[in-house]
């Protein structure tokens, strides 16, 4: 159920953009054990002058922000796993690991509207949030 947003400054090819999306989604499947079909990932490509980043980055065009809305409840270990998995997978695509900043926004299950407008707390999600 997570909604992930990836923000980049660099122009990537369409194939590379798909790979970036799959990198973040794959990390969520691996670390948070969400179903593979539970895919809600958007990529926003900012004009560089509209995306200010730390001046000390040596390759500022690779600055990447990842924001993930998810259910409350994952363990610190699952979060550690997620951050490492995202960075590992993005590094393989040429993005320096220290150019990636990630934030998890946790909201309780009742704050999600799913399956035709029902509160997620009223349905059987089919997976475990307490990983």
Pull the structure tokens for residue 65.
Answer: 């922000």
Q: Which of 19, 29, 114, 131 binds a copy of itself (CB under 8 A)?
A: 114
Does position 128 interact with a copy of itself (CB under 8 A)? The reply is: no
Please tell me the number of Cα atoms within 13 Å of 18 on its side-chain side.
3
For a copy of itself, what does the binding mask look like between residues 59 and 98, x meaning CB under 8 A?
----x-xxx-x------x--xx-xxxxxxx--------xx
Residue among 4, 13, 80, 72 at smallest CA distance from 39: 4
Could you say which of 59, 92, 122, 128 contacts a copy of itself (CB under 8 A)?
122
With beta carbons less than 8 A apart as the criterion, state whether 58 and 98 touch: no
| Nearest distance in Å: CB 123, a copy of itself | 11
Distance of alpha carbon 71 from alpha carbon 29, whole angstroms = 14
Q: Rule CB under 8 A: say whether 119 interacts with a copy of itself.
A: yes
């Amino acid at each position: 159920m997570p909604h992930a947003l990836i923000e980049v400054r660099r122009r990537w090819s369409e194939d590379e953009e798909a790979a970036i999306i799959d990198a973040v989604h794959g990390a969520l499947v691996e670390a948070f054990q969400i179903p593979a079909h539970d895919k809600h990932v958007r990529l926003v490509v900012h004009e560089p002058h509209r995306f200010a980043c730390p001046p000390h980055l040596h390759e500022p065009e690779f600055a990447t922000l990842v924001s993930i809305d998810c259910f409350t409840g994952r363990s610190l270990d699952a979060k550690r796993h997620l951050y490492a998995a995202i960075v590992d997978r993005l590094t393989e695509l040429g993005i320096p690991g220290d150019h990636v900043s990630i934030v998890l926004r946790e909201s309780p299950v009742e704050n999600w509207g799913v399956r035709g407008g029902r509160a997620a707390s009223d349905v059987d999600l089919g997976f475990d949030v307490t990983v």
